[in-house]
Chain A
Amino acid sequence: MHPLLTPINRFGLYLLAWVPLAAILIYLMAVPGRLGWLAAAAMIIPLCLVYQFVCLSAWYSCKAAPIQKSTGQRLWLTHVLAAALLSLLWVLLARLLAYGLSQLPDFQGLDRRFASQLSVLFGAGFLLYLLAVASHYVILAIEDSNKAEIRLQETSILARDAELKALKAQVNPHFLFNSLNSISALTSVDPAKAREMCILLAEFLRMTLGLGEKASVPLSEELSMLHRYLAIEKVRFGARLRMEEDVQPESQSAHLPPLLLQPLVENAITHGIANLPDGGMVRLSSQSQNGRVSIAIENTFDPESTPLRKHGLGLKNVRDRLEARYGKESNMRVGAENGIFRVDLSFPANAEEVKS
């Protein structure tokens, strides 16, 4: 449907835009063309009423020849030909009208006098049509940019959905099964420890559920969730899991997407510690400086038996989430050296207001 026809007030505006155009044409016919005001108005007003609808047809040729995709030659050819043709038809209509009016006693001889003005009318019709073409291209461009904006909004909604889906998938069910197995072992030998572990597990789950609903959380919250996660894994792996932490106190208040670090710590355990018969260490450190926070997660791994997973799904998720949130402001590096696997993240420390 034509965009100028649908909302009725928009069509009204379009009609209004024609008033000055018609006034100019009446002036041209009445004064330099010596038709007289009445005759000029009697000619031009019906002609403009018809031609404004004719000009609306430009929309279809504009759509058929989109300005970005068509060659200049084709554009000119299409529109100039259309303008000439439609203007010619308009002039013929004008002659017919002039002949009809000249039958009335008030306008006798109008058709003769009007004949000298036909070239002016043709020129006006030609230019008016081209003006309509130009306006329609503007309208189309506006429509396109609106559509692009809507699409952008839709993709950002999709990105957020994907992020949430990723969050839900992040708490690995195998972690739960293994933890439950540990609890089931502890119930007979150390019931107090079993209870402690149940509580740790419950707290961890509650925190992941709660965190998942937020757009961003302070590092301190993410850390206290990770402490529980690691405490649970410590029960499972015993002396094989050694933890180190070096968190600069100022960085605790930095904000980050929730559960961003959890998959990294989980990777450190499943691809690092779990593959080492004698275990190893997981080290977490963070600093904030100049409005940016840097976080590093390191773990020992077995270079011989663990294929390097620099592009694993977990890492990709973290990278995607950082990019979705901070764009080029974020930085993530993954590397392995001397049996130590290391992931470095850096991003703006207080960007929680950016998105909510």
Chain B
Amino acid sequence: MSKKDEKKFRALIVDDEDLARLVLRELIQARPEMEVIAECANGFEAVKAVAEHKPDLIFLDVQMPKLSGFDVLELIGTETPVIFVTAYDQYAMRAFEVHAVDYLLKPIGRERFEAALERAKSRLGQKMPPAPELAAAARTPKQFLDRIVVRDGTRVTLIPVSKLDYAEAQDDYVALASEGKKHLKQQTIVSLEACLDPERFVRVHRSYVVNFERVVRIEPYGKDSRLAILADGTRLPVSRAVYARLKSLLDERT
């Protein structure tokens, strides 16, 4: 391989439509300094490809089955610059809020494409805030998550919030307990709590958010602390400030 080849700007294309990928491939290949290292038809492949190939730039479709472009960005982090590609201009604001480099509208014109490339190159090496915080900030208010995306290496898991039992803060991570398993995700409990419906999830403690449906009863523990007992027997500490509210919610239910 010549030296020139090594310096090539390596792009990853993610779009669920064959023809949409074709347009991008053509546009990229027309640039001598660029190459397409991989093409993905869905978000799962994309997360894997990012880990495997470490691309310099990702062209990411917003609307894809199962995992949206925003989900993918949340999972892969903000180290790699992302250019969103979509036919829907109402996502533009959100795209910039999650620090996308640029936002291309379909059908994509060459000039607009090249402008996006220039922006991407100028952004190389810049430090970005962590992706889940950005994704949480970009969420429209009052619209809560109906599922949480978690990545373990290259494996992606979708946890519907109805199947989330509780979340526990562990330093920079949250451990999500669902169906007897725990999934680690890089996100603070504060930003996770903000994405969950407060009617269904209660922050019972500095380190715990619990799915209220799972709480069976509250038991006294020690002198003046209490434990919430979940359906599967898990015991979670309840802080004094929350106890009154939790209790009135429980009483309402019975």
Binding site for B on A (CB under 8 A): 174, 177-178, 180-186, 188-189, 235-238, 274-277, 302, 304-305, 307
Q: Can you add 4 more A-B contacts, CB < 8 Å, to A238-B18, A304-B66?
A: A177-B107, A178-B20, A180-B107, A182-B19
Residues of chain A contacted by B16 (CB below 8 angstroms): 274, 277
Name A274's contact: one of B18, B63, B158 (CB within 8 Å): B63
Contact flag A178-B66 (CB < 8 Å), given A185-B22, A236-B17: no
Residue B36 interfacial (CB < 8 Å) = no
Q: How far is the CA of A178 from the CA of B88 in the complex (A)?
A: 9
Name A178's contact: one of B65, B106, B160 (CB within 8 Å): B106
Question: How would you classify the secondary structure of chain B's contact residues: helix, strand, loop or mixed?
Answer: loop
Interface centre among A178, A189, A274 (most CB of B within 10 A): A178
Q: Is there an interface contact between A304 and B158, defined as CB atoms closer than 8 Å? A: yes
Q: Is there an interface contact between B106 and A277, defined as CB atoms closer than 8 Å? A: no
Contact flag A277-B66 (CB < 8 Å), given A304-B160, A305-B158: yes
Name B65's contact: one of A180, A305, A307 (CB within 8 Å): A305
Minimum CB–CB distance from A302 to chain B (whole Å) comes to 7
Minimum CB–CB distance from B233 to chain A (whole Å) comes to 27
Residue B146 interfacial (CB < 8 Å) = yes
Residues of chain B contacted by A236 (CB below 8 angstroms): 17, 19
**12 A-B residue pairs with CB within 8 Å:** A174-B88, A185-B22, A235-B19, A236-B17, A236-B19, A238-B18, A277-B16, A277-B42, A277-B65, A304-B160, A305-B66, A305-B158
Residues of chain A contacted by B23 (CB below 8 angstroms): 181, 184-185
Q: Is there an interface contact between A184 and B107, defined as CB atoms closer than 8 Å? A: yes
- For chain B residues 10-41, which have a beta carbon within 8 Å of chain A? 16-20, 22-23, 26, 41
Residues of chain B contacted by A186 (CB below 8 angstroms): 19
What is the size, in residues, of chain B's interface with A at 8 Å between Cβ atoms? 23
Residues of chain B contacted by A235 (CB below 8 angstroms): 19
Binding site for A on B (CB under 8 A): 16-20, 22-23, 26, 41-42, 63, 65-66, 87-88, 105-108, 146-147, 158, 160
Q: Is there an interface contact between A177 and B105, defined as CB atoms closer than 8 Å? A: yes
- Give the total number of A-B pairs whose CB atoms are below 8 A apart: 61
Q: Is there an interface contact between B146 and A180, defined as CB atoms closer than 8 Å? A: no
Q: How far is the CA of A178 from the CA of B160 in the complex (A)?
A: 30
Contact flag A177-B17 (CB < 8 Å), given A185-B22, A188-B26, A307-B146: no
Q: How far is the CA of A182 from the CA of B17 in the complex (A)?
A: 9
Q: Is there an interface contact between B106 and A181, defined as CB atoms closer than 8 Å? A: yes
Nearest residue, chain A, Cβ from B147: A305
Minimum CB–CB distance from A331 to chain B (whole Å) comes to 31
Interface centre among A185, A188, A235, A275 (most CB of B within 10 A): A185
Nearest residue, chain A, Cβ from B44: A277
Q: Is there an interface contact between A275 and B20, defined as CB atoms closer than 8 Å? A: no
Residues of chain B contacted by A274 (CB below 8 angstroms): 16, 63, 65
Name A185's contact: one of B19, B63, B66, B88 (CB within 8 Å): B19
Nearest residue, chain A, Cβ from B22: A185
Q: Is there an interface contact between A174 and B17, defined as CB atoms closer than 8 Å? A: no
Q: Is there an interface contact between A181 and B66, defined as CB atoms closer than 8 Å? A: no
Minimum CB–CB distance from B157 to chain A (whole Å) comes to 12
Q: How far is the CA of A178 from the CA of B17 in the complex (A)?
A: 10
Residues of chain A contacted by B22 (CB below 8 angstroms): 185, 189
Residues of chain A contacted by B108 (CB below 8 angstroms): 181, 184
Interface centre among B16, B19, B42, B147 (most CB of A within 10 A): B19
Residues of chain B contacted by A185 (CB below 8 angstroms): 19-20, 22-23, 26
Q: How far is the CA of A188 from the CA of B18 in the complex (A)?
A: 14
Nearest residue, chain A, Cβ from B19: A185
Residues of chain A contacted by B160 (CB below 8 angstroms): 304
